[in-house]
Every structure is written in C-alpha cells, then in structure tokens.
Amino acid sequence: MARRRMIYEGKAKILYEGPEPGTIVQYFKDDTTAFDATKKEVIEGKGVLNNRLSEHFMTGLNGIGIPTHFIKRLNMREQLVYAVEIIPLEVVIRNVAAGSMSKRLGVEEGTPLPRPIIEYYYKDDALHDPIVSEEHIFAFQWASPQELDEIIQLSMRVNDFLSGVMHGIGVKLVDFKIEFGRRFDNDFSRIVLADEISPDSCRLWDVETGRKLDKDVFRRDLGSLTDAYTELATRLGVMPRKSSTGTGPKLVK
Ligand code: TMP
Ligand code: ASP
C-alpha cells in the first residue's frame, strides 16, 4: 500500500495529506516537550488521550457554532481536519495569573484576574515564541485587523465554553493557548480554530485540591502525566476510569 505523504512534523503532532483535497490527517504523538523542547520524554498513551480530549472539545465548540478545523476522529491517534493556512500566532487567554505572566509581571500564581486577558506570541521556535502586540501583528501582516477582531471574539467564546465545561467537572480553567487558521472557500477565507485543545496547552487546576491536571505535571515534575490526563478524561466522560493498557506512564528514551 502506498505510504501517505507527510506534510509536517511538529513536536507533538504529525500532519499527513488527507483522503480528499482540502483535508489533512492529524496524528497525535506521545512525544512530550517543554521549554522549547529542552525537556523531552515519550509518555506512552499521551497522544491517544489528547486525540480524544481534543475531539471532545472541538466537537463541543462546533456544536455552539464556533468554526473549527475538526471533521472527525479516525482512530486512536488520528483525526481528519480541514487544511488551513495557520496564522503564526499562539493566542493565550488567561483567567488566573500563572506561568510566564506571573514571572514577567511578578504576580503570584493563582491570583484571579479581574477579566480575561488575551496575549499573542509569535510562533517561531528559533526566537522562543516572543510575546507581541497588535501593532506587530498588523505591521508584519500576520493577521489583518478584521481577522484579529474575529480571533478575539472567537477566543472569548472558547474561553466561556471551556470555563463552563471545566467548572462542571470541578476544574478551574486557569489559562490556555489556541491557534487559528484561514480556511479557503473559492476566493473567500474565514478564520477557524485549528491545532488542538488538550491539557498540553491548558492550565487546569482541581477546584478542591489545586491538583494540576495539565502539562505543568511534566514541566514541573509533579508526578504521572497520564494519570492527570486520564483523570481529566474520566471526569469528562471521554475515557473509562482504567486505561486499557493499564501500564501507566513509561519512559521510553
Ligand atoms: P505560559 O504561562 O508559559 O505563557 O503559558 C500559557 C498557556 O499556554 C498555558 O496554558 C500553556 C500554554 N502553552 C502552550 O500551549 N505552548 C507553549 O509553547 C507555551 C509556552 C505555553
Ligand atoms: N510546547 C513547548 C515546547 O516544547 C513548550 C511548552 O509547552 O511548555 O517546548
């Protein structure tokens, strides 16, 4: 059987040419990285969990009329998505001070913010994804003012949706990162949510205990990442309580 063509390999996912023009197969790897991939592990089963979790969130968002690239999950590790032209921005929405914002501004982690704060980072590993302002985005034409308006509106809706979903399972949505793309339809393009939504790109704290159910478990060596992601998936009703492999996390290299 002919091998399908790989389009792109990132740190956590691989993109393959899809079965129809304008479609892509997105494959979730077990590779786990932090701090510009200076910290790196293969955590068995992480890709399977993120594929399921991202499907769950994207399906919910599609259901409330937020356009996303997601079409359907194909198997344990792959989903079919629309091909988009990625806007080179990491859009971060914060509800509670944490991470780089706490460091940069000297605000204690866990301090609630009076309103959601949106930040933009220019996607460039060699530059370590620097924070940028709207001025940079327009001057370098990464997105037009109309596109950024759309991105802000959609980001706030995603925040409301995800905050509500998490609230319902006793989890606080502290912050998260999303990416957008342009989906072309003849001469028109429209902004759609792309990439993934998973605990790799969110901060999620248990409301009662403060336990972290996100990639900070890996970044800060706080225990088993798969246990944390499985706990989240179980609460959401996405996965049964015991994983089918039952082996837990394994350091492969
Ligand atoms: P930060 O506090 O490190 O800037 O992260 C903000 C949010 O963005 C947090 O939920 C983790 C997520 N994130 C990514 O998804 N990818 C990244 O490369 C970084 C630095 C953060
Ligand atoms: N994804 C980024 C990296 O590999 C950083 C992070 O999520 O902390 O390095």
As for ligand 2, residues whose beta carbon falls within 6 Å of it are 11, 33-37, 215, 219
Question: 168-184 burial, b if ≥16 CB within 10 A, otherwise e?
Answer: ebebbbbbbbbbbbbbe
Q: Which amino acid is at 74?
A: L
Evaluate the CA torsion angle 18, 75, 227, 94 in order and state its sign. positive
Place of tokens 């993120």: 50
| Structure-block tokens of residue 241 | 């309580």
In 3D, which of 230, 231, 232, 205 has the Cα closest to residue 216? 205
**pLDDT over 70 at 250, yes or no:** no
Q: Minimum-distance ligand to the CA of 31? A: 2
Going from the Cα of 232 to the center of ligand 1, the distance in angstroms, rounded, reads: 18
Q: How far, CA to CA in Å, does 171 sit from each of 84, 207, 232, 238, 249? A: 31, 5, 9, 15, 23
**pLDDT over 90 at 109, yes or no:** yes
On whether the CB atoms of residues 217 and 226 are closer than 8 A, the answer is: no
- Residues contacting residue 210 through CB under 8 Å, at least 6 positions apart: none
Task: Report the first-to-last Cα separation within the chain, whole angstroms.
Answer: 30
**pLDDT over 90 at 1, yes or no:** no
> How crowded is residue 238: how many other Cβ atoms within 10 Å of its Cβ?
15
CATH 3.30.470.20 spans which residues of the chain? 87-206
The yes/no answer on whether domain 87-206 falls in CATH 3.30.470.20 is yes
In 3D, which of 28, 53, 55 has the Cα closest to residue 42? 28
**What does CATH list as the number for 6-84+225-236?**
3.30.200.20
Give the model's pLDDT for residue 154. 98
> How crowded is residue 14: how many other Cβ atoms within 10 Å of its Cβ?
18
92, 155, 178: residue to mutate for ligand 1 pocket, most atoms within 8 A of CB: 92
Q: pTM, whole model, 2 decimals?
A: 0.94
Q: How many CA atoms lie within 13 A of 236 on its CB side?
A: 26
| Structure-block tokens of residue 162 | 């995800």
Q: Which amino acid is at 144?
A: S
Atom index in ligand 2 nearest the CA of residue 33 equals 4
| For ligand 1, atom 4: residue with the closest CA | 100
| Structure-block tokens of residue 59 | 């399906």
| For ligand 2, atom 8: residue with the closest CA | 34
Angle among Cα 22, 23, 25 to the nearest 5 degrees reads 155
> How sure is the predictor about 185, in pLDDT bands with cuts at 50, 70 and 90?
confident
- Segments in the chain forming alpha helices (H): 46-63, 99-105, 134-139, 145-167, 216-219, 225-236
CATH 3.30.200.20 spans which residues of the chain? 6-84+225-236
**pLDDT over 70 at 136, yes or no:** yes
SS3 90: strand
Segment 158-181, tens digit of pLDDT:
999 999 999 999 999 999 999 999
Q: Minimum-distance ligand to the CA of 176? A: 1
**pLDDT over 70 at 51, yes or no:** yes
Place of tokens 């339809």: 185
